[in-house]
Structure 1
Amino acid sequence: MFIEEAAGQMTSIVLDPAESGRKNGLRDGYAEGYLRGRASYIVSQPRPAFPVRKVKVLYVSSGKGFPYSPLDEAVSSTLRTLTTELIAAVPGDPISDLAAQHKPDLLLALDGLELPVEQLNAVRAMGIPTAVWFTDDPYYTDLTIPLSAHYDYVFTLERNCVEPYRAAGCSQVHYLPFAAFPEHYRPTLIPSPHRRNLSFIGSAYWNRVIYLQPVLPALMEQGLLINGIWWDRLPEFPAYADRIELGKWMGPVETSEVYSGSKIVLNLHRSPSEEYVNNNKAGIPAASPNPRTFEISACATLQLVDARDDLTSFYRPGVEIETFSSPEELVDKVRYYLTHEEERREIALRALDRTLRDHTYANRLDQLMSVIFG
C-alpha cells in the first residue's frame, strides 16, 4: 500500500506483504515457465542422425550392478540404434561360447574388470576384435593397465591415461569420455518435484570434505542440499543433518529431477591421489571431466564445476558452464548467479543445446565404431 506524507516531504512506499508475495510469485513463475518452454524447444529440435552400421556386436556389461548399471543401459540401448545386431552378455556368461555361436564383428566390454581374461583371450583367438571402455580412469589404473594389453582397442575417459595404456602394449588407445544419456538425464518440462537453490549429489571423498568445509556455512545460507554417502564424516554434519540426505544412492531419473529442479548444481571432482579409495600408485593425474559434467548439463541447469584442464574441449566456461578455482570463488559465483536469473538461465540452456548436439552416447559410440570399422 502507498503512504503519502505531508506535502513537501518525501513520499515513501510500503509494499503490502501479500502484494509483494504475489509479484514475486508472478516473477518466479514466469522465469520458470520461460526456462521450461525454451528447454522443451531445444529438446524437440532434430539432431544429426548417426549411421547404422551393418555389424554385430557382442556387448559385455560391467557386471557390477548399481551405480554402473545405468551406464550399461546407456551403452547397450544406444548400441542397439547404431548396429544391426547386439548380443548382450554379463561377465559371468560363457563369453567365448557366445562368440563362437554368434560370430560377432566386435566384442565390446564396459569396465572389463569382471571379465575373465581367459574368456577374452579365447575370443581373440577366434580372430574377433576386442575393445574395452574403461569407466573409472585414472582411479583404478593399477588394475586396468595390466588388463589393457589383452584388448585390441582401449577407450579411456581420461586423457592422461592414453600414454600409460600404450606403454603397456596396446597400440590402439583412444580418448573417449562418457556422455549424457537423454533417456536418463533431461530437463523436466514441467516444474520438477525437487525445487532447490543449490544441490550437490555425490560421495564425501576427503578432498571434497576438506574443500567445502571452510565455506559450508556460506553455502548452506544459499540453500545447499546434499545427497550422498559418507557425509557423516563431516565434523559439522550434526548441525546440517536436515540438509544432507545421508547414505542414499539416487537412481538416474531421480538424480535428473533434482538437477533439473535446482538453480545451480555443484560438481567437485574426486581426487586421483586418495590412496585408501584409489588404485593409482603411478599417480596419474586427472585432466578430463567426469561423467557428471555431461549429465548435469543435459538437465538445463547451471553447473558450477572445478575446472579441469580438458574441460574447455567440451564446454565454454562462462557461456555453457561456469567454473571455480577456489572455495571463495565458488561462494561468490553461487551468490552472483542466484541473483542474476537471466544469465544463469541462458548458460543452462546453452549447456543443454551443446550437450544434445555433441555429448550424447550416440556421439561417443559412433566415434568408437568409426575408429574400429572406419
Structure 2
Amino acid sequence: MQQRTSYSATPLYSADGTLCDIEISVGTRRWKMLGAAGAPRELSILVSSPARDAAALLPVFIGSGTGIAIRKFMESYDGPLAVVDKEPDIADHTGIRQHVLARAGSVWIDSDSADDALRRLTLWQTANGAAPLRAMLNPAWLRLDRSYYAAVHEAVTASEKADFWGKVAYPRFQSTTPRILLITSQYFLMGEVVAALNRMQVPYELLALDDDSLGQNEFVERLLKAVVSFRPDFALTINHLGVDREGVLTDLLARLQLPLASWFVDNPHLILYMYKRLVSPWTALFTWDADNLESLRRLGFAHVFHLPLGTDVTRFVPLQNPDASHPLRADVSFVGNSMVYKVAQRMKAGRFPAVMLRSYKTVAAGFSNSDERCVRTYLEQARPDIFAAYLQLPASEQRLAYETMITWEATRQYRNSCVRQTLAFHPLIVGDKGWRTALRHEPATWRAHSELSYYTDLPWFYPLCTINFNCTSKQMKGAVNQRVFDVPACGAFLLTNKRKQMDELFEPGKEVIFYSEPDEAPELIRFYLKNSAARAKVVAAARSRILAAHTYEHRLRQLMNDMRTAFGRP
C-alpha cells in the first residue's frame, strides 16, 4: 500500500490579502495546487457534477482543495454535502471546513482510515434520505495519499452508479412463508435454527460471522449484497451477534426498513449493557425468559416477545437399547459447569477494589435469594455500600464484569448446594475440573467426567442415566433451561428445580418432576430410582408435550408470526 506523502503546505496570498493558492512542498519538490491555470483548474471538478443534479444526489467532495469549488457549488446548492479530507494543514489555511460545517446536515470526514471514512459516509447518507452519492474528486489529493483518496473515490463512484436504495425498497412479508437472512456464528443454537428452517422449507440465506478478522465495512458490504440478491423479509440473529455497539448495523437496518429479530437465550441485560445505541423501531427482541419482558420494554424497545427455549427432536431421540454396561451408566448424573473458574476469570478481568472483593460471596448469596433479576438494581436497593463502589468503577466493562461475576457466583453457590444433595447416590458429575475443587472435602462417593459435547455426546448420554439431575443458572430465576426439553426428548427422566415459568410449559407432577428447595431432592431421587413405571409415565408425557409444543419448529413458527404481526403491512 502506498505510504502517505509527508508534505508541508504554504498559503499564497494576492496583493489584497486573499488566498490565491497553496504551495505544497515534498522534499525538494514543490508545486502549486492551482498553478497557472488558476481557479478554473479546481472548478473543473464541478463540470461533470453540476449543482442542478444535487436534488437527486448527495454531493461528496473528496479533497477540499483551496475551497473555491466547494464555495462555488454552495452558491447554487442549499442542501447538505460531505467533504472527505484528512489534511488539516491545508484546511486550516482555507477556512473551508468552518464554511461547510455551518451548513445544516453537512459533514466533514477526516478519518485516518478509508474504511472508517466510508462507514461515516454511509451513516451520513442514511441520515439524509439515502440518495446515491455523487463524487467530486480533487486530483491534487491523490498526490497526497493515493491509496486513501482513490479508495474513497472508487466506493463513492460505485454508489453513484448503482441505485442500491431503489433495489432494496421492495415490500416485505408478501408471501405466506417469509424469507430470513440469518446472521450466523458458531453459537450452538444457530445450527438448530438452520436445521429447523430446512425441515420447514423456509427460504433463508446465511451471513456468516465465523471469521474473527472480518471488518465492519466488509460485514456491512456483505449484508447489503445479501439484501439486494436475496430480498429477505427480516434478519435473525442470536444474542445480538453481529450488532455492533456503535449502532451502525441498527441504523443501516432501520434505513433499509429491514426488521431485525434478536433471540436472546442468555441474559439480555448482560449483553445489551455494552451497546450505546440500542433502540430502533425496526428491532424486535425475543427472550427465553419472560421475566425480562418489562425491563426490556423500559429500555425503549417497542417489540418484545417471550420465546422459550426448545429442542431438536431429530437429534435428541430415544435410544432403542441403551447399553447397561456402558462406563458412563449412572443411577444419578449431573451435567454442568462448576462456575469456579468462570467466577475467577471475571474477578481477574474486573480488577475490583477491595471492598467489592471482600463482599462478593455475600452479595451473590443475597442476590440469589432475592426476587430481583438485575444485579445493578439489587445493589441499589439492598447493598448501597457496594452500589457506591460499583458506580465508581471507571469503565462500563468493569461494571459488566462485576455483574457477571455476581451472577455466576450466585449460580456457583446454588449449583453446589443442589449437587451436594445427590452425593449419597454416587452420582456421575460431568463438567469442568472445578468440581474437584468444589467437592474436595466430600467423601469420594461421586465420579467425575470431563465435559461432553452437546451435539455428539449428550443425546446418547442422557438415556444412560436413570435420573438426570438439573439445577438452573441464576441468570434466569424464572425460566427453564435447555435440559428441561432435551432430556425428555430423548426418552430420559429429568429431576429439575422449580421455575415459575415451568407451569406454562409442562404440567407439574405429570410432565415434569421438580424440587422447590435443594433439600427436597434426596427424597425424590429415592422414590424415582425405585419406581421405573412412574419414571416412564413422566417421560412419555413430557416427550408427548415436547413433540406437540416445544420443538424448534414451534419456536420459529411463533417468531415468524410475531415478526409478521409487528412489521408486516396489510
Instruction: Give the TM-score taking structure 1 as reference length.
Output: 0.74
2:337 aligned to 203, 213, 224, which one? Answer: 203
Q: Does 1:110 align with 2:238?
A: yes
Counterpart of 1:181 in structure 2 is 312
Contact kept, 8 Å, 1:113 with 1:144, in 2: the verdict is no
Counterpart of 1:370 in structure 2 is 561
Contact kept, 8 Å, 1:110 with 1:133, in 2: the verdict is yes
Q: Does 1:136 align with 2:259?
A: no
| TM alignment of 1:95-106, pairs within 5 A | 95-106=223-234
Contact kept, 8 Å, 1:53 with 1:83, in 2: the verdict is no
| Cα-to-partner distance string for 1:60-90 (whole Å, 9 max, x where unaligned) | 12x2x3xx33x11101111233354210122
Indicate the larger mover: 91-100 or 290-299: 91-100
1:82 aligned to 196, 200, 203, which one? Answer: 200
Change over 3 Å in CA distance of 1:221–1:258 after alignment to 2: same
2:490 aligned to 286, 299, 312, which one? Answer: 299
Q: Quote the Cα distance in structure 2 between the aligned partners of 1:208 and 1:164.
A: 21
Change over 3 Å in CA distance of 1:214–1:270 after alignment to 2: closer
Higher relative contact order (CA 8 A, sep 6+): 1
Q: Does 1:72 align with 2:190?
A: yes
Contact kept, 8 Å, 1:55 with 1:83, in 2: the verdict is no
Q: Does 1:154 align with 2:277?
A: no
Indicate the larger mover: 228-237 or 361-370: 228-237
1:165 aligned to 288, 296, 299, which one? Answer: 296
Secondary structure at the residue paired with 2:203?
strand
Q: Offset at 1:95?
A: 2.2
Q: Offset at 1:175?
A: 0.3
Q: Quote the Cα distance in structure 1 between the aligned partners of 2:232 and 2:496.
A: 41
Counterpart of 1:286 in structure 2 is 477
Q: Quote the Cα distance in structure 1 between the aligned partners of 2:287 and 2:419.
A: 34
Counterpart of 1:57 in structure 2 is 180
Q: Does 1:253 align with 2:456?
A: yes
Change over 3 Å in CA distance of 1:114–1:82 after alignment to 2: same
Counterpart of 2:152 in structure 1 is none
Q: Offset at 1:228?
A: 1.0
Q: Offset at 1:250?
A: 2.2
Q: Offset at 1:203?
A: 0.7
Q: Offset at 1:115?
A: 3.2
1:330 aligned to 509, 513, 521, which one? Answer: 521
| Cα-to-partner distance string for 1:20-56 (whole Å, 9 max, x where unaligned) | xxxxxxxxxxxxxxxxxxxxxxxxxxxxxxxx94321
| TM alignment of 1:218-367, pairs within 5 A | 219-229=422-432, 230-236=434-440, 239-240=443-444, 243-246=447-450, 248-272=451-475, 286-367=477-558
Q: Quote the Cα distance in structure 1 between the aligned partners of 2:563 and 2:234.
A: 9
Q: Offset at 1:249?
A: 4.4
Secondary structure at the residue paired with 2:195?
helix
Change over 3 Å in CA distance of 1:107–1:217 after alignment to 2: closer
Q: Offset at 1:215?
A: 7.3
Change over 3 Å in CA distance of 1:217–1:113 after alignment to 2: closer
Change over 3 Å in CA distance of 1:58–1:312 after alignment to 2: same
Counterpart of 1:125 in structure 2 is 255
| Cα-to-partner distance string for 1:223-260 (whole Å, 9 max, x where unaligned) | 310111231331427854970114x2423231121111
Contact kept, 8 Å, 1:96 with 1:123, in 2: the verdict is no
Q: Offset at 1:264?
A: 0.8
| Cα-to-partner distance string for 1:185-243 (whole Å, 9 max, x where unaligned) | 22112214542211111111354654465676662332310111231331427854970
Contact kept, 8 Å, 2:423 with 2:446, in 1: the verdict is no
Paired AA for residue 232 in structure 1: R
Contact kept, 8 Å, 1:181 with 1:361, in 2: the verdict is yes
Q: Quote the Cα distance in structure 2 between the aligned partners of 1:373 and 1:253.
A: 35
Change over 3 Å in CA distance of 1:233–1:296 after alignment to 2: same
| Cα-to-partner distance string for 1:318-360 (whole Å, 9 max, x where unaligned) | 1111110222210110011101111111111111111111100
Counterpart of 1:190 in structure 2 is 321
Indicate the larger mover: 302-311 or 114-123: 114-123
Q: Quote the Cα distance in structure 1 between the aligned partners of 2:499 and 2:477.
A: 8
Q: Quote the Cα distance in structure 1 between the aligned partners of 2:416 and 2:249.
A: 47
Contact kept, 8 Å, 1:153 with 1:170, in 2: the verdict is yes
Contact kept, 8 Å, 2:236 with 2:261, in 1: the verdict is yes
Residue ranges of structure 1 left out of the alignment (5+ in a row): 1-51, 273-284
Q: Offset at 1:131?
A: 1.1
| Cα-to-partner distance string for 1:152-198 (whole Å, 9 max, x where unaligned) | 21111011111121111211100001101112222112214542211
Q: Quote the Cα distance in structure 2 between the aligned partners of 1:216 and 1:372.
A: 41
Contact kept, 8 Å, 1:212 with 1:327, in 2: the verdict is no
Q: Identity of paired residues, percent?
A: 22
Q: Quote the Cα distance in structure 1 between the aligned partners of 2:444 and 2:279.
A: 48
Indicate the larger mover: 218-227 or 320-329: 218-227
Secondary structure at the residue paired with 1:252?
coil
Q: Quote the Cα distance in structure 2 between the aligned partners of 1:181 and 1:362.
A: 8
Q: Quote the Cα distance in structure 2 between the aligned partners of 1:217 and 1:56.
A: 48
Q: Choose 1 or 2 for highest CA Rg.
A: 2
Q: Offset at 1:290?
A: 1.4
Change over 3 Å in CA distance of 1:346–1:128 after alignment to 2: same
Q: Quote the Cα distance in structure 2 between the aligned partners of 1:109 and 1:126.
A: 17
Q: Quote the Cα distance in structure 1 between the aligned partners of 2:314 and 2:441.
A: 34
Q: Offset at 1:137?
A: 2.2
Q: Quote the Cα distance in structure 2 between the aligned partners of 1:301 and 1:73.
A: 23
Aligned residues: 305
Residue ranges of structure 2 left out of the alignment (5+ in a row): 1-174, 340-408, 566-570
Contact kept, 8 Å, 2:239 with 2:268, in 1: the verdict is no
| Cα-to-partner distance string for 1:272-311 (whole Å, 9 max, x where unaligned) | 3xxxxxxxxxxxx621111221112212222111101111
Secondary structure at the residue paired with 2:557?
helix
Counterpart of 2:346 in structure 1 is none
Q: Offset at 1:147?
A: 6.5
